[in-house]
Amino acid sequence: MTQLLVLARLIDRLSDFSAVFAKWAVLLCSLISAGNAVMRYTFSYSSNGWLEIQWYLFAACVMLGAAQVLRVNEHVRVDVIYGTLKSKSRVWIDLFGLTFFLMPAMILFAYLSWPLFVGMYVSGEISGNAGGLIRWPVMMLLPLGFALMALQGVSEMIKRVGWLRGTYQMDLTYERPLQ
């Protein structure tokens, strides 16, 4: 179990690392959006490339930040029943959800999105809009983001099994690891 917990910590660091890119993508997206609005309304100039880079950066924010959201337990959850349960029951529900819902979905989505990315990379597909950008970088975010979520799912499963076995401590009020 000790080696699995080391693996979980490594995966958590990878999620932290990808979250840094997501954080900067939010800032860049906001700055580009504001700059684009100023250019459009002040100088009557706009570019499809600038509009597309905004949604590329938004995609980076979502796909690279999702694993971190799972790691820090800030994902959407309906707490009506979950919040009333004892810690052990919550951990079992988490394990069930991670095993039978998150993992199969993320593995399937990564598998299905990989050929889309490869096809766009090989063909060098470019947006049909005038001044549009190449599309493979944003498509690469799909299999990458789904793989990061699957890895973080593995980390969360390891930590919950560790908690059940008494080898890992979590604050189950928020289900975050004790620092």
The region of weakest confidence among 12-16, 56-60, 164-168 is 164-168
Global pTM reads: 0.86
Instruction: Kindly tell me if the per-residue pLDDT of 179 is higher than 50.
Output: no
First to last CA, the chain: 19
Q: Residues 48-81: pLDDT tens digits?
A: 888 889 989 999 999 999 999 999 888 777 667 7
- Tell me the three state secondary structure of residue 170: strand
Q: Residues 108-155: pLDDT tens digits?
A: 999 999 999 999 999 998 888 887 788 899 999 999 999 999 999 999
Check residue 87 and give its pLDDT: 84
Check residue 44 and give its pLDDT: 87
Check residue 128 and give its pLDDT: 81
Q: Residues 20-38: pLDDT tens digits?
A: 999 999 999 999 999 988 9
Helical packing angle, 136-165 and 48-71, nearest 10°? 10
Taking Cα atoms as reference points, which of 47, 55, 57, 54 lies closest to residue 132?
47
Which residue pairs, CB below 8 angstroms and at least 24 apart, start in 126-134? 127/48, 127/52, 129/48, 129/52, 130/48, 131/47, 131/48, 131/49, 132/48, 132/49, 132/52, 133/49, 133/52, 133/53, 133/56
Instruction: Kindly tell me if the per-residue pLDDT of 174 is higher than 60.
Output: no
